[in-house]
Amino acid sequence: MPSIKGVEVASPREAIRVGAELSIIEDPDKWFVDLQNRNLTTHIYDAEMAEKIFQEVNGFAQRVSQMVVEIEKSDI
């Protein structure tokens, strides 16, 4: 099972929670929305829903970049 700083994480939700607790990620609520959108994309049959998710994903790359900076600053 993967771990973050010795804490085992069994799911993406748990990884987000632990990452927030360790200050590796900012604004976990946005990460939870990203996760929900990822889950929805496997079942998108509606153009309106696809457009909504496309609009929300704009900040994802920035969040990942910030997470990488935090990981590099830490001893993970």
Q: Is the pTM of this model over 0.75?
A: no
Please answer whether residues 24 and 74 qualify as being in contact, where contact means their C-beta atoms are separated by less than 8 angstroms.
yes
Q: Is the pLDDT of residue 72 over 70?
A: yes
What confidence score (pLDDT) does residue 7 get? 77
Q: What is the mean pLDDT of the chain?
A: 86
Give the Å distances, CA to CA, from 72 to 16, 18, 27, 68, 69.
17, 17, 18, 6, 5
Report phi then psi at 31, rounded to 5.
Answer: -65, -40
Spatial separation of the C-alpha atoms in residues 68 and 36, rounded to whole Å:
21
- pLDDT tens for each residue of 51-60: 888 888 888 8
Spatial separation of the C-alpha atoms in residues 20 and 6, rounded to whole Å:
15
